[in-house]
Structure 1
């Protein structure tokens, strides 16, 4: 059996304020069916918008499709990401990602569930932690 997730079949959703800073838009979310564990979505961040700190039990892949942004692992400096970049975040790594202060950024986010869990959300990225 083949499933096709038709573009725009599901309306875009605003990223919840408890997990995002700024008006983030989530489109084209998808979940596979067991035994597969993959899920993902296209996430658009206007300038200055970002995720909260979080982890993924089996890691996460980001494919930057537009713009420029940041990704940061806890304890390390933020790193610039740009259109065309592919980012692999290892399992359990505390991190955040989002747009730069002056440029929007869109990425496709892909992660696998472990025992039904894809992400553990943590605290928001502070203004001091966000690169200007």
Structure 2
């Protein structure tokens, strides 16, 4: 058993993967052979990810606020604190805060054998985000 009492500093979400102000806090990244990764992600109102997909899927658990999620070809859906979203392996999607609301979620992924946790696509435009 290992108890982690200190965490890496918060990291700003890079502009090539996020629109708006986003902060990422690593919660868990256990040593191999585990490939689990967990982050707490904090989105300012209207902030969001770019389109992306995960090799083994992703679980999002909304811990506070109101957000939006969309899978490619599907409708934009509202999520709120207490909701959990499963995105399947290789499924293109985006997520972020609703306009006018902050949103925080826990994001859990399993890295691929090469350490990859996400493949990134284009940024989500304002028209798609506000749909």
TM-score bracket relative to the smaller structure: over 0.9
Q: Structure 1 stretches of 5 or more lacking a match?
A: none
Q: How many residues align?
A: 130
Is 1:64 matched up with 2:42? no
1:6 is paired with a residue whose SS is coil
Gaps of 5+ in 2: none
* TM-score normalised by L of structure 2: 0.94
Question: Quick one: distance in 2 between partners of 1:83 and 1:59?
Answer: 21
CA-based RMSD of the aligned residues comes to: 1.2
SS of residue matched to 2:94:
strand
Partner of 1:24: 22
Residue in 2 that maps onto 1:42: 40
- Detail structure 1 runs of 4+ shifted over 4 Å in the superposition: none
Which position in structure 2 is the counterpart of 1:131? 130
Which residue is 1:13 aligned to? 11
Q: What TM-score comes out, normalization by structure 1 length?
A: 0.93
2:94 corresponds in structure 1 to 96
SS at match of 1:128: helix
* Distance in structure 1 (CA, Å) of the matches to 2:48 and 2:2: 31
